[in-house]
């Protein structure tokens, strides 16, 4: 009998131990994954009728607020600016959970973070305390980004390179988050079904969740790799004038656009975006140098933007290029093995602008409690050191020439020294993505920008300068007006 009791006791202890371990796995090790899963709506169900703070633009424009509602729920979330900030605020939906700032700062908005209690009555009565989240994005700059891009599919990202503050984050198509946040559950579900069925994916914040071939904008990274390695300088090598370059291990040439002939030193080949020279540079440098430089800018890593679901920009590892020089050559000009989000290319431009330092990107500026007192403020943080200040300065000088006398002339902000690089990423179906990255003022940068206009007909190195540059120029101008020196 005693033996049976002991066996039962041991079995109970084992089962209890297994339960204890499983609870810890769920509540501790997997807690973040469960909380970040968009299908997990428990927090939304709990918070849907509770008081909730506002989301406010940098200029004070209210972007999200809760108002009284009738029926099953006491409150309903409203988004006065409609689609304009949908990719940033996200939504707060009973049927779909939360996205964007509504998800990242859910506890703050719901008043579950630590706040100062000045009245003991508040503590005893349990009066709800909420907080408002103020963003770094001015409404006027976001509106210019939307209007400049117009009804063309694409994305615009603008950053302050000095501290990583996001100044614009827009993609088209977008959506009205108020439709998903309606207390009319049937209407909200119907709206969500329509948005999910739309082949243009309006619910996808492409600025930080979709990757594309970066095309010739990636030549900024290749140039930085050459300079950082010491194998490239402003004076040497002088790449031979050529209309085609055949990498080792293949007979297939890499051509310049229009089979044009180009060559020369670094500033010359960046100014005209010379494919043959940059492809040769990538092969000469080797995979270890090129991949290492890309990773120093943030590729192969997830940018620490304070929004959920940020995608990394892949370039592969060094081993993937072994005995594969044709792919390495194509990667050096922004095709084949490398893909980037618009956010990542904006971070590349910002890193060059900031003397080689890439700051942590962020949309939250500060948090204020319901009395207006600041309880949190974002402090600038270094994310990665991409290059030395000397390398960044040399790349900047070359990018200024691209604007003054090259493919990015339409990026120039009147009266302001501007640096830029165009790109055209060929899709192989007669279409190409038009890119541009840049920053201004070039001598004391306050704004960095990346623009992609998707699936443009034809393929020319001028496409980025013709299509994307005017959009970026408008955003640069607006953001310079909104930021202080």
Does residue 436 contact residue 472 with C-beta atoms inside 8 Å?
yes
Exactly one of 66, 155, 216, 242 is catalytic; name it: 216
How many angstroms separate the CA atoms of 56 and 65, rounded? 9
Q: Which two tokens stand for residue 479?
A: 């953001």
216 is catalytic: yes
How many angstroms separate the CA atoms of 293 and 231, rounded? 14
Q: Which two tokens stand for residue 72?
A: 């099953």
What are the residues facing 385 on neighbouring strands?
Answer: 357
Can you point out the beta strands (E) in 303-430? 357-359, 364-369, 374-377, 382-385, 419-426
Reply yes or no: is the peptide bond before residue 237 cis, omega within 30 of 0.
yes
Quick one: which of 430, 432, 406 has its CA closest to 419? 406
DSSP category for residue 265: S
Using the structure block, give the residue that is written with the tokens 């990202």.
157
Bridging pattern class, strands 244-245 and 239-242: unpaired
Can you point out the beta strands (E) in 114-161? 131-135, 154-159
- CA 302 to chain centroid, in Å, comes to 9
Q: Which two tokens stand for residue 77?
A: 């979330």
List active site positions: 216
């Amino acid at each position: 009998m005693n033996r049976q009791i002991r066996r039962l006791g041991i079995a109970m202890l084992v089962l209890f131990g297994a339960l204890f371990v499983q609870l810890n796995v769920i509540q501790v090790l997997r807690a973040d994954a469960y909380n970040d899963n968009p299908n997990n709506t428990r927090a939304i169900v709990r918070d849907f009728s509770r008081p909730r703070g506002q989301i406010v633009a940098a200029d004070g424009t209210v972007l999200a607020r809760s108002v009284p509602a009738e029926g099953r729920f006491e409150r309903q979330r409203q988004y006065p600016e409609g689609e304009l900030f949908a990719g940033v605020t996200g939504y707060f939906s009973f049927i779909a959970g939360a996205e964007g700032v509504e998800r990242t700062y859910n506890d703050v908005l719901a008043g579950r973070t630590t706040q100062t209690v000045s009245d003991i009555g508040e503590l005893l009565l349990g009066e709800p305390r909420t907080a408002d989240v103020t963003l770094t994005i001015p409404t006027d700059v976001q509106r210019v980004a939307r209007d400049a891009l117009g009804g063309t599919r694409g994305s615009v990202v603008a950053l302050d390179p000095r501290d990583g503050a996001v100044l614009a984050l827009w993609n088209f198509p977008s959506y009205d988050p108020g439709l998903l946040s309606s207390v009319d559950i049937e209407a909200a579900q119907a709206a969500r079904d329509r948005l999910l069925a739309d082949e243009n994916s309006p619910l996808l914040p492409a600025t930080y969740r979709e990757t594309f071939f970066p095309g010739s904008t990636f030549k900024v990274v290749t140039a930085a790799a050459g300079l950082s390695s010491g194998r490239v300088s402003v004076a040497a090598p002088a790449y031979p004038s050529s209309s085609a370059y055949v990498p080792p291990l293949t007979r297939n040439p890499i051509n310049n656009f229009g089979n044009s002939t180009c060559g020369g030193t670094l500033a010359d080949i960046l100014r005209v975006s010379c494919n043959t020279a940059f492809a040769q540079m990538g092969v000469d440098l080797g995979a270890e140098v090129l991949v290492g430089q890309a990773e120093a800018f943030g590729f192969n890593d997830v940018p620490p933007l304070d929004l959920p679901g940020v995608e990394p920009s892949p370039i592969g590892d060094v081993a993937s290029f072994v005995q594969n020089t044709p792919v390495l050559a194509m990667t050096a000009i922004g095709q084949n093995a490398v893909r980037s989000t618009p956010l990542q290319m904006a971070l590349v431009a910002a890193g060059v602008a900031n003397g080689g330092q890439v700051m942590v990107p962020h949309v939250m500026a500060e948090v204020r409690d319901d009395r207006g007192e600041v309880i949190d403020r974002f402090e600038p943080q270094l994310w990665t050191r991409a290059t030395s200040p000397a390398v960044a300065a040399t790349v900047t000088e070359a990018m200024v020439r691209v604007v003054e006398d090259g493919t990015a002339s339409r990026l120039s902000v009147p009266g302001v020294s501007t640096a830029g690089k165009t790109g055209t990423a060929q899709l192989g179906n007669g279409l190409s993505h038009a890119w541009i990255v840049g920053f201004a003022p070039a001598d004391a940068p306050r704004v960095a920008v990346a623009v992609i206009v998707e699936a443009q007909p034809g393929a020319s190195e001028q496409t980025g300068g013709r299509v994307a540059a005017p959009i970026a120029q408008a955003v640069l101008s607006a953001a310079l007006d909104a930021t202080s020196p």
